[in-house]
Amino acid sequence: MIIRLKDGSEKEYNQPMSVLDIAKDISEGLARNACAGEVNGETVDLRTVLDQDCELNILTFQDDKGKLAFRHTASHVLAQAVKRLYPEAKLAIGPAIEEGFYYDFDMAPLSREDLDAIEKEMKKVIKENPAIERFELPREEAIAFMKEKDEPYKVELIEDLPEDAVISFYRQGDFTDLCAGPHLMNLKNIKAFKLTSSSGAYWRGDEHNKMLTRIYGTAYTKKADLEERLKYLEEIKLRDHNRLGREMELFTTVDVIGQGLPLLLPKGAKIIQTLQRWIEDLEDNEWGYVRTKTPLMAKSDLYKISGHWDHYKEGMFVLGDEEKDKEVLALRPMTCPFQYYCYKNTQKSYRDLPYRMSETSTLFRNEDSGEMHGLTRVRQFTISEGHLIIRPDQANEELTNCLKLAQYCLTVLGVQDDVTYRLSKWDPNNKEKYLGDDEYWESTQDQIRHILVESGVPFVEADGEAAFYGPKIDIQAKNVYGKEDTMITIQLDCAIAENFDMYYIDQNGDKQRPYVIHRTSMGCYERTLAWLIEKYAGKFPTWLCPEQVRVLPISEKYADYAEEVNKELKRNGILSTVDNRSEKIGYKIREARLAKLPYMLVVGAKEQEEGTVSVRSRFAGDEGQKPLSEFISAICEEIRTKEIRKEEVPEENQK
């Protein structure tokens, strides 16, 4: 057989060879570092025996797929340690993930001390370095095997496998687990690992199932790499919007109000207001939108016309019972059907299109309780929503402009380099979920793909991520923990006009169906606020800060002058306050720095006499004494241009 390697070279063998043996034949060093193999694009165990021509890539920890095999083996070490310390714990699932691994157990919640004890036991397992063996069983034997071990979750997983599935197990000393692999050949290479946290997780992600205990960990081949990762995790905790946003008094949550229903406190509400006013003025004055304001709820009849009742009802808040009540209402999960009737209010001709409608829309989605988190996943939220009613010949230009508007917003916010682009397509294996036929989906997906290619942005394609009525461009971003969320979406819908009998009159006086573009310019305001908290660690650009300047009188003698300065700042639209507390000036400065304010204006005898202020900034530290008018002119320009000013002096060096 001929084995074609990654570098294009070939190896020829006269008998079957395992992936590991081929790695040894290439290099003993490669074999020592090998984690798995990739045969014709499929990841396989190093134990896999090859007996025919193929392409082979030996995967090490430097390869993403190699890391997954390495860390999946570490998850089995975790499970083995847990079963030793907690024999009654039941095994669920334990996959490798992007930056580590986790394992779910049916057991009581764990403390940090418990995790430390499990780590200690894991070290014992690795030191023992038990042999790792893979074996397969027929379905009935596999079920009986796991029933004998009293592992009900594993039994359920086996029963749900396809009839023709290969059911494999890995034995690791006194521990055996249902697993497809691949795994390392032994445990000695797992030289550095850490259990990072523990949390609750519903079995199979379903809130109706039992809450399990999930243990997260990470593993590396080198201690230095682990230490670097742990240091990074500590740093990102300081940026976690769910913690920092509460500390900065931007938002809070209250149990009696409910999950996924955050309260925006005055500072957070001010940031949202600033963003909202900017987007509304931008859309209305520069991008040709007209603004609507539509109800927060509607009769079920509306959602039946739009298709949401059939395709999205489980995600809606329904008010009433169709079997009992004469009229059933539902809170709106999106604004599109409402805006269609704004369009239909008067007859439109081809000259009236594109007709671009925008709305600051408060929406409601019945998210699962296990999915909700801070401001990123909530049950009530507000978005910069818009719908463009267009002629088919306008689709390319209008889609491109929607993408340009979104990219402009990202650039102003300073996050343009933190996003990825995705073409979200239908799932051809589940056609009943969607409107339209194969030809409809292929043509609309091609149109979206063309826009992305012409715009020059790199993108990925994902099946099953489209809306039920059409494909979309999703602009994605990750939070500090690496979880990806959709921030902005642009969707092409060539089918819905028929449902609502929307039309325009063409050049010949005939009725024609328009296309619809569903889009957001900046996306969800709450989610964007969470993103910005984490991006800037709470140190927002000046134009977004809820408090842009704090005036600090050196003593009570200069309180009146401080108030005069504050009034002049406010007259110029600057968000300012005065700290008139009877505290030392050094204490006031430290307090202002902890509040992450852009500017402090210190005033005393000299400043009062000369009509100046002593400027201290988050960016450059002590900027010296300036005439008040000069400072006002500079900060107003910074706010007007939405400048993202960089820190010139590290915070620890600012006095």
The closest alpha carbon to 433, from 304, 308, 300, 302, belongs to 308
In sequence order, what DSSP letters do the residues of 356-382 get, joined into one string? EEEEEEEEE----GGG-BTTTB-SEEE
Q: Are the beta carbons of 75 and 214 closer than 8 angstroms?
A: no
Residue with the two structure tokens 């306008």 = 394
CA 18, distance to chain mean position in Å, is 40
Helices (H), 551-627: 559-571, 585-594, 605-610
Q: Which two tokens stand for residue 27?
A: 């290099």
Residue 409, marked binder = no
DSSP string, 244-261: HHHHTTSEE--TTT-TT-
The response to whether 387 counts as a known ligand-binding position is yes
**DSSP conformational letter for 110:** -
Q: Is 336 annotated as a binding residue?
A: yes
Task: Give me the sign of the Cα torsion angle 426, 432, 434, 437.
Answer: positive
Amino acid at 71: R
Give the angle 370-372-373 at the CA atoms, nearest 5°. 120
> How many Å apart are CA 160 and CA 15, to the nearest integer?
37
The rounded distance, in Å, linking the Cα atoms of 236 and 258 is 27
Strand-pair category, 132-136 with 168-172: antiparallel
- Whole-angstrom CA distances from 22 to 1, 9, 36, 61, 188 are 12, 13, 12, 18, 21
Beta-carbon contacts of 283 under 8 Å, excluding residues fewer than 6 positions away, are 289, 291, 358, 384, 386, 405, 521
Backbone angles phi, psi at 378, to 5 degrees: -135, 170
Which residues contribute to the annotated binding site for Zn(2+)? 336, 387, 518
Which residues contribute to the annotated binding site? 336, 387, 518
